[in-house]
Amino acid sequence: MIIRIDDIPVNYIDEGEGSVILLLHGWGSNITLFDGIIKALSPSHRVIAPDMPGFGKTPEPQQPWAVDDYVDFIIKFIDSLGLKEFGVLVHSFGGRVLFKLNARETLPYVINKAVLIDSAGIMPTKSLKQKISLKMYKCARSIMSTKLLHFLYPDAVENMRKKRGSADYNNATPIMRQTLVKVVNEDLKPLISKISCPTLIIWGDNDTATPIDDAKQMEQLIPDAGLVVCEGAGHYSFLEQPAKVHGALKVFFG
């Protein structure tokens, strides 16, 4: 299905009937990865999942976005569908959107339940080695960007970026790279405790993108939260252990 939000044609899924559950996908992902969850929940719930701008079949924004821009987008998407009360299930980057969405004042709707699956939002603490490496990289990039050296070695800066950059960064378009930089450099830990609705946290204990310690911190910060650990699973625990995850979701949402 397609709906236009600020002239952006947004691809989304809207299946089932009953209480509403909104799904927000992770960075570099799209709604197709939620197929199993949608099939599990749609027999008894109305499940809605948009491809956020820059992912799946929804075009990227015309300029780099921050998390707040995605929050503005989701609010307009919710308003367009006339939703008043719903649960939210997020994975990875979707968690960042939820934390900032939930912190907005005077929202015209109610989030009654939340599920955090391998959610982002807590900024990792850099080791001394990582801090030194980052400073050396920035220094080398600055030197190689001078006119003379850039003329002599035109690909040097790009090669340095590819070697150092994450897969998400290297695979993104220029606009989405700038968006990613804005997104990951924001620590949302102070907002996590503002989630007051019942919350289910699902995590892979082998997750290296958002380590299990993040899940334990979120469980402590959110007043009404419970943690389900998927032993042996990584950052996509809902794909690696679907039976366990789907069972937990059915019990939680009812």
Q: What's the pLDDT tens digit per position in 62-75? A: 999 999 999 999 99
Phi/psi of residue 19, nearest 5 degrees: -60, 145
Rounded distance between C-alpha atoms, residue 9 and residue 4, angstroms: 4
pLDDT in tens, 138-163: 565 666 567 666 666 666 656 655 56
Cβ–Cβ < 8 Å for 30, 103: no
Q: Model pTM?
A: 0.85
188: which DSSP letter? Answer: -
Cα separations in angstroms, 11 against 1, 51, 128, 176: 6, 6, 43, 18
Q: What is the DSSP string of 29-40?
A: --GGGGHHHHHH
Give the residue, 111 or 172, on which the prediction is more confident. Answer: 111
Of 135, 115, 119, nearest in space to 127 by CA: 135
- What are the two backbone dihedrals, phi and then psi, of residue 104, each rounded to the nearest 5 degrees? -65, 140
- Quick: pLDDT tens for 190-204: 999 999 999 999 999
Residue 225 banded pLDDT, cuts 50, 70, 90 = very high
Residue range 121-125: average pLDDT? 83
Helices (H), 107-241: 128-144, 147-152, 156-164, 167-171, 174-184, 189-192, 212-221, 237-240
Residue 5 confidence (pLDDT):
96
